[in-house]
Each structure stands twice: as C-alpha cells, then as structure tokens.
Chains A and B, each alone.
Chain A
C-alpha cells in the first residue's frame, strides 16, 4: 500500500506525526564523506539528533470529569543539527550548519459530544502550521569560511564585544535560550589588528528543548549592527573600541519583512572602549567603559509619540584586576552601571537580552529578589575572590565577598528604598583521589535604607561528593537555600528550596539517579508530586557508546528562577514521564 495520507488514516496513524517522522528518518544515516572534486569534495557530514518525549501529568481535574486525567498530554520534541565540514591543506576551512526543530503535542484536546472541554495549545494565533498540533522550524543556518587571517560568517552568527556590555548575543542553552543574529559577520586579522563587523536581524529560537512548548508566538526580529577593532601587542597592552546600533521591532511590525528594520530610525546606540594590561606590576588589568544613547522614547518607557523627547543616556564601567602571589590567586572586580538595562526593553519579555553587564554575584543561588539587582538600572559595587592552592592543585579552598549598592527601586525590585547588598561565600574543590568533592556556602543580605523595610537574608549551600561504591561509584549532589524576606510590601512568606540528587554509576554506561526537590516558595507556582512542597523523581541513563545517550525520567521537579550568562529566566516545573535520546552520527 502506498504511504499516502489516506493510507495512514486507514491505518489509524496521525498523518502529521508520521510525516514528521519521515522527515527526520532519512537523516539518521551514519557519518559520511562527500565524494567529488569540488570545494566540498572530501568534506564530512555530521548529524546530531536530540529527541524527547514528555508525558505531562497533573492532579488537576475538570469538574464533572474527576475520574479522567484529561489535563494530561504528551509532547514530543526533536532537534537535528547538521554540519558539513571541510578543511583545506593551506589552512582554509569551510563549515555549513543547519538546525531544524520539530515539536508536536498529543492528547492535548478533550472534546465531548462535539464540545471542546479542554485544550492545550502549541501555537498562539500569530503562528500557523500545516501540521496542526505540530510545528517544524528551520531554526538556524550558517556558512563559515575561514582563512589564515580571518573568517566570514553568513546566516546565523553570534556576537560579543568586550565584556558583553554593548553586545552579547550568544547561545545560552543552559537556560534554553538561543538567539542569533541572522545576517553577516566578518573578522579580519591584519597583523596585530582585528576588525570585527556584524550585522543582521535577531533570530530567536522558537522551539524549546527542555521546557514545555506552549502558545509559541511569532518572533519579532530586531536589527543589530556593530563594529569592533582590537589592537593587540602594544607592549603589555591591548586596546579595543566598539560601537553597536539597534533598531527593535515592535509587536505591530511582526508581519513586516525584518529587513525593514534597516530603513527605520535607530532606537539605541552603544559605544565603548576597553584597555587590557597583562602582567603590569604582576597584575592583569582590564577596564571597559560604555556609553548608551536611547534615541526613541519607548526605550525609556515613554509613549512613542512623546513630544520633545531628547535622547537619554546611560553608562557602564567595569574593571578587573587579577594577581597571582605565591600559591594564591586574587581576583578583584568592580562595576558601576546607570540605565544600561534599558537596552533590553524590547527583548527581556521574550526571555533573552542583547547585552549584559557582569553580575558580580553567585548566579547559582539567584532568586526572584536578587534577579532585580542583576537587572538593575542603577548599581555599583565589587567582588573579591581569593583562591589558595596549598599542594599540587588537588585541593583548592577559596573565599569571596561581593558588595553592591543598588539604588534602583523600579519594576522588578521588591524593595521601596535603595539597598546595600553583602554576600560572603566560601568553598573548596577536592580532586585527585578516589573521592572528589566540591562545596560552596554563603550568606547574602540585602539591607534597605529604610530601616522599617528591614533586610532580605539568605543562607545557601551547594556541593557534591563522589565516592567509590562496591560496584562503580556514588555521587551525592546537594543544593539548598533558606530565604527570609524583609518587609517587601506584598507579604511573601520566607521559604526553603532544595535540589538534591543521588547518582549511582554501576558502570561507565549506566547511571541511576534519584532526585529530590523541596520548595515552599510561594513565588514557585508548581506543587510537588509527593506532597505540596516535596518533589521526587527517578532517572535511568544509558550511554551505549560515546556518541549516544538514552534517558528515561519519571517524577517531578520544581519550577524556579535560573540564571546563566547574566540572563535570568523563570523555568517551569515538570511532572510526568520523559524519554530523551541524544546521538551524534
């Protein structure tokens, strides 16, 4: 029987899902070499596939249908990355890459007697898909041609200047963010000079690999163009200069061709310079300053037709110094920023940022409260960290102290008066023997100027230890934080959060993990599967070879804020079962 849509229907198989499967199956062939004498003759093809099937469960019941789990649904995500690589004898290289994502929902609607009782929607009204409750997105495509002295990138590129204060668009899959600049990027090296130019429109990844894909909305792209010059080898000094311009798309522009952004007026201009001195006085120095010009009133939360608007300014200064006396390593960092976060006005709601200033905080324990300081428009402070290596590097204890003064009380801030933040941390890393371990413990206090507001306080611990067991080895990972609110005006309750795991690796190929989360944080909107605050899960992982892994998960984990690369995102929790497969061919 020919494999037509009608035939599939007779077999009772969903045409959309099978069509998608067929789309994916041909690419699971082994790694291969392209045959020929042209530019790609002898080039190799590499494919990476990430497949995940998630069964979302919930205790919610529809009134009148308490005996049925009609809120449960199934989600399937597949991500394929393809890469063609070629290298020539004279050092030139050519790389062509693509990323195709596919997502589908199953059992996501409940219709009784012709009436829709419940619906979980994959797409909102701004996105249409010929596959119904499935979507295929050609997420990324790039060509990179490198030669001795430079590189040209066409398609999806990433860009970062200096310390990322003016431009920092990069892959941040740690928190499921991958926004690129679709256009062109060129790097030319001429002696000790590097010239980098990038221009294009932003391309936000539509399909999430790790989070539920619900109500996917159309990406409104933004124009980004920048130029940077680096001068190396000025004795111990390196000098950098850069400038970036932005034109942000408005929601009303979603259907316009993205290239129209080039014809519209600029929203923001950022220019900066940095100086790096290596080994001067035994210290490595770095200092960078950036000026922000906001040319349109919407950048500073004013109406677009605000009369007599004059461009407003912002600025950032960041400096660091590292010294290596004896067995110690000392790192000192400092920053001052004023109205720099406004550069992310149009994109932060979509969960990503075009530029970020170093946070100077321990991001593993950032909470809803401290995220406000990360994204503050008026903050200064510094951090000192001292590592000491007494032996051969197998044991390294450290102490760190962060002090910040945050005068911004708008939007994300829970405090009504400026606050001073202090955050000492200590810890160690131990490696070398059968037992490997690391731990960090700290105490953070946000003291408000208005004594009546009190102070937010948090004590936190995270660590892990791996020890040999009778068969294989055991690993225990612990993370906990206890938070006490000051008077924040809306009366949240103090909370304890934990994320713990016990892992048994009986062999190199197998791992069994027990997860346990706890949260009584009222800002976390999930409930545990073992009790209201307690979450439990088990996962079995199998890696039959170094290119392939298969993971089966059952249980629940909590929602919560997670920060990486200067960006913070509230990630949803999960309850149900999950099967994940990853392979490189």
Chain B
C-alpha cells in the first residue's frame, strides 16, 4: 500500500468522521442558538432591528438581485407572509447586494410586489454572521424567543411547503419542527 493511498484513506476517514458527527449533531441540536443581533436600514432608510421583532416568528431570508433561485423563492415568501402575518409571523428579507447594486433593490421589491421589510446588508456584516459562506438564498427561522429554530440552504421548487410547515409549528408553539424528525427531542428552553 503506497503512502499516498494511506494519506488519501486518512482524508476519507476524516470526511467520514465529520459526516457521522454532523448527522448526529444535526439531530441533537436541541438547544437553539441565539440569533445574532441585526440593525439594518430598509429600502426607505428606516432602521429595522431584530430586537424589535422579539415575540414574533421571524423568517430571515438572504438573497440578492442577481440570484436566480432567490427570484423564484421570493413570491412564495410573500404568499406565506400574507397568510400568516396576523398570527405573529414576519419575513425579514436581507438583500446581500453590495453597495453598487443598492439602487436595484427597491425597484425589484416593487416589481415583485413584496410588502415585507427588505433591509440592505451592503457591507456583508450580517450575512457573515448568519451565513459565512454567503450561500444564496439562505433562510433562517427564528422562534418567538429570538432563537434559531431551522436553516435552509438554496431553494428548489417545493421547499416552501416544508418551510411553511415549520413556520406554522413555531407559530402554534410546538417545541419541535416537522423537519426535526425525532419526537423524543425536548422542547427548547421556555421563557428565555
């Protein structure tokens, strides 16, 4: 057996270890992370903060005007917002377009008739905390306590069904989400 093969086998062993631990870790993530603070201005320069949304279920969605899948996902988020906003649900949409594209954001919001808040993260300060690889689109569900309940990378048609089920579970106060898949998981700490 060559030394190169041993090295390669070690690398695969490493990958396998990480995969196994990740699968374990993914299911065992009972303690929800605190959602990092957000203070950004929207397309009308109004200040929007995550702290002000405490008590609501927040769907944080990162997107960009040049991102094709994002364009397909946004109308579904609008529909979800229209249907559920009266139950304490809000979409906080974060445009990750950089500064030079900032003039494109509001026209796109108008063309797509989006009515939820759209804030601009021009210098990537927020996306670098929530989504360090800047995968787009990227959705984070935040529960009423301000903790991260779920994340979704990318968008494929039909994803909105699963996300909506998770949002409805959070709105109804269920401790676990349909995607958690483990009925024995304890609910997140209450009252924090």
- Which residues in A have some Cβ–Cβ distance to B below 8 Å? 12-14, 17-18, 20-21, 24-25, 28-33, 42-46, 48-51, 53, 74, 76, 79, 81, 83, 85-87, 91, 93, 95, 97, 99, 104, 106-107, 144, 146, 148, 151, 153, 157-165, 168-174, 189, 209, 232, 238, 276, 278, 284, 286, 320, 322, 324, 329-331, 333, 356-359, 363-364, 385, 387, 389, 392-394, 396, 398, 429, 431-432, 434, 436, 438, 464, 466, 473, 475, 505, 508, 511, 543-550, 564-566, 579, 581-585
Q: Which residues of A contact B100 (CB under 8 A)?
A: 163-165, 168, 356-359, 565-566
Q: How many residues on the B side are at the interface (Cβ–Cβ under 8 A)?
A: 84
- Shortest Cβ distance from A337 into chain B, in angstroms? 12
Complex-state Cα separation, A522 to B19, whole angstroms: 41
A31 touches which of B21, B33, B99 (Cβ 8 Å): B33
Tell me whether A106 and B34 are in contact in the complex, defined as CB-CB below 8 angstroms, given that A12-B3, A87-B51, A387-B111 are known contacts: no
Tell me whether A164 and B99 are in contact in the complex, defined as CB-CB below 8 angstroms, given that A85-B35, A392-B113 are known contacts: yes
Query: Does B25 make an interface contact (CB < 8 A)?
Result: yes
In the complex the two chains form, is B34's CB within 8 Å of A43's CB?
yes
Complex-state Cα separation, A550 to B21, whole angstroms: 13
The digit string for B107-120, where 1 denotes a CB below 8 A from any CB of A, is: 11011110000000
Query: Does B134 make an interface contact (CB < 8 A)?
Result: yes
Tell me whether A548 and B14 are in contact in the complex, defined as CB-CB below 8 angstroms, given that A31-B33, A168-B99 are known contacts: no
Tell me whether A331 and B31 are in contact in the complex, defined as CB-CB below 8 angstroms, given that A160-B98, A546-B150 are known contacts: no
Query: Does B183 make an interface contact (CB < 8 A)?
Result: no
- Shortest Cβ distance from A29 into chain B, in angstroms? 7
- 15 A-B pairs, CB-CB below 8 angstroms? A30-B24, A31-B31, A74-B4, A74-B11, A87-B36, A160-B99, A160-B123, A168-B99, A329-B107, A329-B111, A359-B100, A393-B113, A429-B72, A508-B159, A585-B29
- Shortest Cβ distance from A330 into chain B, in angstroms? 8
Complex-state Cα separation, A28 to B29, whole angstroms: 12
Complex-state Cα separation, A401 to B107, whole angstroms: 16
In the complex the two chains form, is A547's CB within 8 Å of B68's CB?
no
In the complex the two chains form, is B17's CB within 8 Å of A29's CB?
no
B45 touches which of A85, A232, A333 (Cβ 8 Å): A232
A545 touches which of B26, B36, B37 (Cβ 8 Å): B26
In the complex the two chains form, is A389's CB within 8 Å of B34's CB?
no
In the complex the two chains form, is A28's CB within 8 Å of B25's CB?
yes
In the complex the two chains form, is A171's CB within 8 Å of B34's CB?
no
Complex-state Cα separation, A151 to B129, whole angstroms: 14
Nearest B-chain residue to A543, judged by Cβ: B153
- Shortest Cβ distance from B139 into chain A, in angstroms? 9
- Shortest Cβ distance from B40 into chain A, in angstroms? 11
In the complex the two chains form, is A431's CB within 8 Å of B75's CB?
yes
In the complex the two chains form, is A393's CB within 8 Å of B78's CB?
yes
In the complex the two chains form, is A547's CB within 8 Å of B113's CB?
no
Q: Which residues of A contact B87 (CB under 8 A)?
A: none
Tell me whether A14 and B44 are in contact in the complex, defined as CB-CB below 8 angstroms, given that A28-B21, A44-B32, A566-B98 are known contacts: no
B71 touches which of A30, A159, A359, A429 (Cβ 8 Å): A429
- Shortest Cβ distance from A486 into chain B, in angstroms? 28
A364 touches which of B11, B47, B66, B104 (Cβ 8 Å): B66
A548 touches which of B3, B23, B157 (Cβ 8 Å): B23
In the complex the two chains form, is A85's CB within 8 Å of B34's CB?
yes
The digit string for B71-89, where 1 denotes a CB below 8 A from any CB of A, is: 1100110100000000000
